[in-house]
Amino acid sequence: MPQFWFEVRWLGQNWGWRPLNRVDETRGSGSVDKNGWRIINSLSRRVARITIDEGIVAELTDTTPPQAFAMNVENNEFVSGDALEDLYECVDDRFYRFGWEHGADASYELKDGDLVSSGTSLYRLFFPVLGAPTLVAQLHLIIDECSLRISVSELWASFESDESSVRVTGECVRVLAAYALVRRDESYTDGGWLTAPESHKQWLKLGGNTNSGIERLGFERGKLRSQLRKAGVLDVKDLFERKTSGYRTMLRLSTRADQIIFIDPEFQSDD
């Protein structure tokens, strides 16, 4: 299952969901609103489903509105329903500590995550929150755990770690593959380094447009970095290493050889 695949949120009257990763491959129930959320009708008897190409299916079986609850911080016991009346008072859909009438509202009003005491026990409160921020782990390209999967035939590549993954698509993937192949094998020139003419030749071998010159590769490398930046990836500027020897400038992919995986059978390593 993709990391941070989709998020589900209560939108005031209905539940909504939206994909965060593998967006183009994700399908599911609900009509799309202006902000990109798929709205799930809470009155519908059909189970809402979210699927992805690999046959992975998520079902949202309970579409009732979210409810407040509390948890005893010592023994993790949950408190809900009428038992919450022993912890706070609800006034006009707001939650207050007992005794709020004698103090400033701001100091007595309770928020999601606040602690309250009852008897000898301490409880953490959980209230339904509208507009909570979307939390997505950022991907670091230059770490040992970040791998790279590439499909040349379908022109997609996925940078993946234990916490996050980002997919890029388009002709820039063929350029990425040109550098990734020689970086993986590292027998082609010194340690995966390529001059501009060498990288152009490698790109053409992978199906690049014969009418496009060497400058096309610089353009596509820029598009690749732009896709990664838009996805919130860190250290994008370090995706390619650069060195100069005499009059020659060479580039290579910073991803290690053992982190590079080609999906297409014709490009898979013999190791």
Q: Token pair of 46, please?
A: 């059909």
pLDDT in tens, 49-96: 999 877 889 998 888 888 889 999 989 999 998 888 888 887 777 788
Partners of residue 244 on adjacent β-strands: 249
Q: For a pLDDT cut of 70, what percent of the chain falls above it? A: 88
Question: What is the domain partition of the chain in residue ranges?
Answer: 6-60, 69-126, 147-267
pTM of the model: 0.54
Report the pLDDT value the prediction gives residue 1, as an integer from 0 to 100.
Answer: 63
Q: What is the pLDDT of residues 198-227, one digit of tens each?
A: 999 999 999 999 999 999 999 999 999 988
DSSP-based helix, strand, coil % in the chain, nearest 5: 25, 30, 45
The structure tokens listed for 32 are 């799309």
For range 219-237, the mean pLDDT: 85
256, amino acid identity: R
Residue 8: closest CA among 42, 35, 39: 39
- Alpha-carbon distance of 162 to 7, in angstroms, equals 18
- For residue 181, CA distances in Å to 159, 170, 188, 223, 248 come to 15, 17, 9, 19, 21
CA distances from 226 to 69, 139, 253, 260 (A): 43, 14, 16, 21
- pLDDT for 181 equals 94
pLDDT at 111 over 70: yes
Backbone angles phi, psi at 48, to 5 degrees: -70, 135
Question: Do the bridges between strand 38-40 and strand 31-32 make them parallel or antiparallel, or are there none, so unpaired?
Answer: antiparallel
Q: Is the pLDDT of residue 43 over 80?
A: no
User: What pLDDT is recorded for position 188?
Assistant: 58
Residue that wins the pLDDT comparison between 24 and 256: 256
